[in-house]
Amino acid sequence: MILDVSLAQILHQFATLFAVVDPVGTIPVFIAVTAFIAPDRRRVVALRAVFFAMVMLIGFLVAGQPVLNAIDVNLTSFQIAGGIVLFLFALTMIFGPSKPDKEVSEISRNDAEWAIYPLAIPSIASPGAMLAVVVLTDNDIYLIGSQMVTAAITVLVLAITLVLMLMALPVQRVIGKAGASIISRVMGLILAAVAVDNVVNAVIARFGL
């Protein structure tokens, strides 16, 4: 059969991709990087971030395994690198000033820049998510039809991520910039813990500890 995927497998894949993409965890990152730009630009950033993340994840789903095999790179190395990058960004959320000259000057940044980093990568299309789509579509195990189902589930999870980011806009209007600054620092601490956890899990998987 071209398509041989049970409901249990679909639910398992959805749960796996929802966990690694972490749509809820993207909200504090989105609020932090869009706290000082206009609401209409925030919507554009959200749309572009999800689009770039979709291109990255679907591209990794299709070509990730052959490319990484060709250059002999272990997938867990991506998870370690992504965790480090995410941790560094979390530090800027924690220790960065609430209304720095840097943020004021960065208001003029291109929407695509905000959308690509840190939203699309590494927040949404994290190394963990890239690893997951490759594992869930292993060419040696899964048929084309099954891989297409995984691609559809990936798009669904990204759609949920977009909805949650757009819902963050009215919340931010209520709490204001001061509230967003406080939440940014608290969430930065949580994000740092998540990043460390990703690195630790990847190291365990990489070295079989």
Q: Is residue 124 part of a domain?
A: yes
**pTM score, two decimals?**
0.70
Residue 52 pLDDT = 95
In whole angstroms, what separates CA 203 from the centre of its chain?
20
Query: In the chain, what is the greatest distance between 2 CA atoms, to the nearest angstrom?
Result: 60
Does residue 61 form part of some domain? yes
Helix axes 39-71, 23-33, angle to 10 degrees: 120
Answer whether 53's CB lies under 8 Å from 117's CB.
Answer: no
Do the domain assignments include residue 154? Answer: yes
Residue 134 lies in a domain: yes
What is the per-residue pLDDT for 87?
A: 81
pLDDT of residue 140: 63
In a domain, residue 19? The reply is yes
Asked, for residue 94, whether it belongs to a domain, the answer is yes
In a domain, 49, yes or no: yes
Give the number of other CB atoms < 10 A from CB of residue 98.
13
pLDDT, one tens digit for every residue, the chain (209 residues): 455 678 888 888 888 888 778 887 788 788 878 877 877 888 899 999 999 999 999 998 888 778 877 877 776 776 787 778 768 777 876 776 543 334 434 444 566 777 888 889 878 998 778 878 887 887 666 678 888 999 999 999 999 999 989 988 777 667 666 766 676 677 678 768 877 887 888 888 878 76
Residue type for position 191: L
Alpha helix positions (H), the chain: 7-21, 23-33, 39-71, 75-95, 101-105, 111-114, 127-136, 144-207
Q: What is the per-residue pLDDT for 152? A: 94
1: in domain: no
Count up the domains in the chain and report the number.
Answer: 1
Residue 58 lies in domain: 7-207
What was the pLDDT predicted at 105? 44
Is the Cβ–Cβ distance between 61 and 147 less than 8 Å? Answer: yes
pLDDT at 108: 47
